[in-house]
A and B are shown apart, each in its own frame.
Chain A
Amino acid sequence: MNSVQRFFRRYIFSTVGIVILFLTVNIALCFAILITGSMSGTDASFSVRDFSDHVVLRDEKWTADNTALSMLQEQSAWAMLLDEDGNVVWQQNLPENLPRSYTSAEVASFSRWYLEDYPVKIWTRADGRLMVVGYQPGTLVKYYFSLEWPYMGVMLGGIALVFSINLLLIVFLILRNTRKVEKAMTPILQGIQDLSRGSLHRLDEHGELGEISAGLNRAADYMRKKDDTRAEWIRGVSHDIRTPLSVVLGYASELEDDCGLPPDARKQAGIIRRESEKMKRLIDDLNLTTKLEYALRPVRFKEVDWAETSRQAVSEVLNSGLDRRYEIVFAEMQPGRSVHLLGDHELLQRMLDNLIRNSITHNPQGCRIAVSVGEKNGRCLCTVSDNGVEIAPEQLKALNRGDNIASTQDSDEKLEHGLGLKLVVQIVKAHHGTISFSGSTPHGLEVRISLPTQPLIS
């Protein structure tokens, strides 16, 4: 799962979490309101049952005690007591316009609704009489609710169903919307990631986010153009230098071999020739490293004889006329055994050539360079070591860290530009191999390269 998918997965979880939180909070709020309402209602007044207990028959006469009277007074309420026949046997503050006798139908009516706009509460006493307390109009709301059970069942089930459908619909819409956003955003986010790695496939510029895609495409075009310009510039410069350098190298070489010239002049011509050769190598390195960096040169994987490729690379260095100060020793770890790998013959040869020349360049006093090649556990190995100058531990660390190799060279102008080693690392990477730098015993540099015989070519 990549980071884009992880982001959207987290987004879905958080949205569902928000919905669940929303529902929980709402249910909690509803309960809170109900509880608050029940606690703050006018029912803080009194209960008709309690009130009824304060009205008693004493000496054949119905009387209410002071508590009952104060209860009524507080609420500006009135009260009446009806006997079994519906006659008022006792009353307190009963409005004049209200009848003093009620039929059973009238009792049934006001017990559910209102008595002449007065909301009433009733209580059937133990002695069979009915206590009625009436409140001022507008102080109580009475609502009669009656439903048949089958209908009630359907309604409750319906409410549950509607709630569930709503919940599912919300989840579905969240998922659908997220999917839509994901579909639109994934190529863009992927594009940004690709762009950070220096490559971008053209994005579709249609749809709501087309403008963003177009912006990314423009950024990629700009980057590509810059890369092309840089590569073109290097190629152009190298081309323009090659021709005049041919003339310099050609004449210097001619003069160096001219027996008719004084020895000093021939020596100077030799220096020009050697420096020109260095420039030639610099141009070649610069060209190849640029091409590999900008993928302008494909790596041509073919079956390669590892030992023979190494032999040819070493022979080329020796054939180009190696100074007597240097000695190159070539050895096979498993002599006579044929080792093959899938690789680019030309690049591998160049890699070994650069490693040998790196030892030569950094040891102007001369040194012995040992090249050994072989195979172990399905990997082609190569070690190039010299007994030359000791390399500083910090520099070794920097090389092994893969720091910008060109910048690891010190500013001594006698030393090479560092492109040679950069190219070696690029070639090793192109073959999915590993490279390590260490000090050799007793002093000098040792470079170990390990390449898979069958690299996974993408």
Chain B
Amino acid sequence: MTNHKILLVDDDPNVLEMLLSIFRRAGYTNLQTAASGAEALRIWQKEQPSLIVLDVMMPEMDGFSVLKEIRRTSRIPVLMLTARGEAEDRIEGLEIGADDYLAKPFLPKELLLRVGAILGRAYPNQNEVVQLAGATVDMANAEVLKNGEKQTLTAKEMQLFEKLYRNAGRIVTTGVLCETICGEFWQGYESTLSTHIRHLRKKIEENPSKPVSLVTVKGLGYRLNLKEVSP
């Protein structure tokens, strides 16, 4: 259950209906819809949502124009949806200031994952606690609670953990993780990454030599497995 207010904008009522269904099922309760660019701007000004899912191709006022208008005064997170799937569109969208970009058709999981990642970055949850098999991580304080013992994560470990957490259940490649801690020119930092991962495992794994939460995917990278919550 999340209280973030999401504004969904698409001129196709079927798509809007489906988006509503996806977000509702994922636990989002505060949802608004708009069927045109002008309506989206009106609702945005009135309701001040936490995030906008914005379709690019709409009659009269397209998504890019809406985003430009919004970006004149606001940094509200925006995820663009497009039916064109052109790389140029994506570049244009990101240049104008979109936070992410998703081409239609998309899997609901992918949309939710991206929306979750944007929200997590834009509104760090003060009480966000990540449940792992052998520990819990307090994201706001960068603290790990394992066997009743508290340990603090270093800045680099926290950066790594956050990247893995935002992509939980998915493989994050060595290059992407190195880039997260070292920036664009990350080549040659693979051993540094291994060191940070080893330290992180010591803090979050019950048995660091046999990791179950932060697992290595041979040759590719790492994956963070969250604790499975029984329904």
Contact = CB atoms under 8 A, between A and B. Distances in A.
Nearest to B113: A319
Given A245-B104, A246-B105, A314-B220, A346 B87 contact: yes
Task: Give the interface SS of chain A, mostly helix, strand, loop or mixed.
Answer: helix
Interface residues of B, number: 36
A239 B105 contact: no
Contacts of B171: 315, 318-319
Nearest to A340: B187
B108 A253 contact: yes
A338 B220 contact: no
A258 B211 CA distance: 32
B228 to A, nearest CB: 15
A336 interface: yes
Contacts of A137: none
A250 B220 contact: no
A247 B12 CA distance: 10
Q: Which of A246, A314, A329 has the most CB of B within 10 A?
A: A246
B116 interface: no
Contacts of A213: none
Nearest to B87: A346
Given A239-B83, A311-B175, A346-B87, A254 B21 contact: yes
Contacts of B22: 250, 254
Contact of B188 (A283, A338, A346): A338
A249 B102 CA distance: 14
B107 A330 contact: no
A383 interface: no
Nearest to B111: A250
A336 B104 CA distance: 37
Interface in A1-53: none
A246 B220 CA distance: 30
B190 interface: yes
B219 A251 contact: no
Interface in A290-333: 297, 305, 308, 311-312, 314-315, 318-319, 329-332
Q: Which of B85, B105, B170 has the most CB of A within 10 A?
A: B105
Interface in A231-269: 235, 238-240, 242-251, 253-254, 257, 259
B104 A246 contact: yes
B83 A242 contact: yes
Nearest to A287: B85
B220 A315 contact: yes
Interface in B143-173: 170-173
Contacts of B104: 242-243, 245-246
Interface string B165-202: 00000111111100000000001101000000000000
A315 B87 contact: no
B219 A330 contact: yes
A312 B218 CA distance: 13
Given A246-B106, A253-B107, A308 B173 contact: yes
Given A305-B187, A311-B219, A336-B190, A245 B87 contact: no
Interface string B96-117: 0000000111111100000000
B82 to A, nearest CB: 8
B217 interface: yes
Given A242-B83, A243-B15, A287-B85, A250 B218 contact: no
Interface of A: 235, 238-240, 242-251, 253-254, 257, 259, 273, 276-277, 280, 283-284, 287, 297, 305, 308, 311-312, 314-315, 318-319, 329-332, 336, 338, 346
7 contacts: A243-B12, A245-B105, A246-B106, A257-B25, A280-B105, A312-B173, A330-B220
Interface of B: 12, 14-15, 18-19, 21-22, 25, 57, 83-85, 87, 103-109, 170-176, 187-188, 190, 217-221, 231
Given A239-B84, A243-B104, A338-B188, 20 more contacts: A235-B84, A240-B83, A242-B104, A242-B105, A243-B12, A249-B105, A250-B21, A251-B18, A251-B21, A253-B107, A253-B109, A305-B175, A308-B173, A308-B175, A311-B175, A312-B175, A315-B172, A315-B220, A319-B171, A330-B219
3 smallest beta-carbon distances between A and B, as pairs: A308-B175, A242-B83, A246-B105
